[in-house]
Amino acid sequence: MAKLKVIKKNKYLYGKFYHNTFEFRKALHDLFSSFIKKHNLDLKTHNNLIDLRNRTVALLNSWIGSKKLETKFGIKIPLQTTTPSIKNFLEKQARSYSNNYKPCEICGEKRITHYCHIIPKNVSGPSDEKNYLYLCPLHHHLFDHNRLDKKEWEIIDFSVKLEASQEYAKRVRLVRQQRFWQSIKNERSVNKS
């Protein structure tokens, strides 16, 4: 009788640390919101305060991510205080709606591409244009599962990405890729003998 493989369901969508800090982030958001409601602010001051709130939350998320990476992998990456951009969001929506995708950064396919996070969201990777790779579905899957071959990996230009994304790619993703390349090399040598 064949045993069924039990798939462990992830309890936390973006990780336990992110989940555990939700109340703090919500309290910070509520603090700013109540201040804005109490005071009759002109539009410019209101928008500046909202921007300050967004930057504060982005800094907190970056700090959470950097602490997770330091704890999990023993690496320090620079804090990135990138805030969500309405312009980037609208551009992404317009490209998706019009089926006008950016080409895959590896193979050039542009019928459909995904926004692939270099620093994953589960370790507080920012939703920032410079933390994305534009990859076709196949290369997105291979990238996320550390299965790109050396030629595919070398095509990616990480130098135009966030400093933290570059560091994560070098210290975490590349190490995992190298393990994969070594396993392929070992498998080939076993098959030859």
The domain spans of the chain are 16-73, 88-192
Distance between first and last Cα of the chain:
34
pLDDT in tens, 8-66: 555 666 666 667 777 887 888 888 888 888 988 888 998 888 888 888 877 887 787 77
List pLDDT tens digits, range 72-103: 877 777 776 666 667 777 777 777 777 778 89
DSSP string, 120-171: -GGGT----GGGEEEE-HHHHHHHHTT---HHHHHH--GGGS-HHHHHHIII
pLDDT digits (tens, 9 = 90+) for 114-166: 989 998 887 777 777 888 999 999 999 999 999 999 999 999 999 999 888 89
Residue 4 pLDDT more than 60? Answer: no
Q: Report the pLDDT value the prediction gives residue 13, as an integer from 0 to 100.
A: 60
Q: Please, are residues 126 and 159 in contact by the beta-carbon 8 Å criterion?
A: no
By the 8 A CB rule, do 106 and 152 touch?
yes
Q: What is the mean pLDDT of residues 164-193?
A: 89
The answer to whether the CB of 103 falls within 8 A of the CB of 116 is no
Alpha carbons 130 and 163: distance in angstroms, whole number:
9
